[in-house]
């Protein structure tokens, strides 16, 4: 029969009883070494790398012209606080790319200096990040003239 090394002392109680009382369970004894993990932060890094981001869509000229016509029309109708649905890009602060958000609300104001619009819930959206804007006002978009 094979004997493991140190088999005779494997179950011998520790000579210092105070330490034995501090760690009555072996799990608690092992837990004291947990902060010394060699891969601290590894799980977070893997999650961050796996997190999905999208690339920003560049609108072609005709899409940009249509979007500008919609902005102009909304600017004329702003006193009516029109209901709009805006799809815009939000750049990710930690990696390349970002995500697209769609927000629906009443348009309150256009900020000319900042090139942004303000919705009734306080959301401020930069115009350069917007890729689509919809509203019941645009049912006859062909009749909307250029600014």
* DSSP summary character for residue 81: -
Q: Classify the C-alpha dihedral 124-108-84-117 as positive or negative.
A: negative
pTM of this prediction exceeds 0.85: no
Q: Classify the C-alpha dihedral 120-124-127-131 as positive or negative.
A: negative
- Say if residues 120 and 106 touch (Cβ distance below 8 Å): yes
pLDDT at 51: 83
pLDDT at 125: 96
Tell me, which fold does domain 61-143 have in CATH?
A: SH3 type barrels. (2.30.30)
- All structural domains of the chain with their residue ranges: 7-50, 61-143
Mean pLDDT by 10 residues, the chain (147 residues): 66 65 60 64 80 90 92 91 95 91 95 93 95 89 62
pLDDT at 138: 85
* DSSP summary character for residue 80: G
Angle at 51 between CA 88 and CA 117, to 5 degrees: 15
């Amino acid at each position: 029969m094979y004997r493991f090394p140190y088999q005779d002392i494997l179950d011998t109680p520790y000579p210092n009883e105070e330490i034995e009382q501090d760690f009555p369970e072996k799990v608690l004894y092992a837990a004291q070494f947990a902060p010394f993990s060699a891969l601290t932060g590894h799980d977070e890094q893997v999650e961050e790398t796996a997190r999905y981001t999208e690339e920003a869509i560049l609108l072609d000229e005709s899409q940009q012209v249509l979007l500008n016509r919609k902005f102009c029309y909304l600017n004329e109708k702003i006193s009516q606080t029109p209901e709009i649905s805006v799809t815009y890009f939000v750049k990710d602060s930690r990696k390349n790319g970002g995500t697209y958000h769609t927000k629906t609300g009443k348009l309150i104001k256009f900020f000319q200096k900042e090139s942004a619009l303000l919705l009734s819930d306080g959301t401020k959206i930069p115009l350069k990040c917007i890729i689509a804007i919809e509203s019941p006002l645009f049912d006859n978009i062909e009749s909307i003239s250029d600014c």
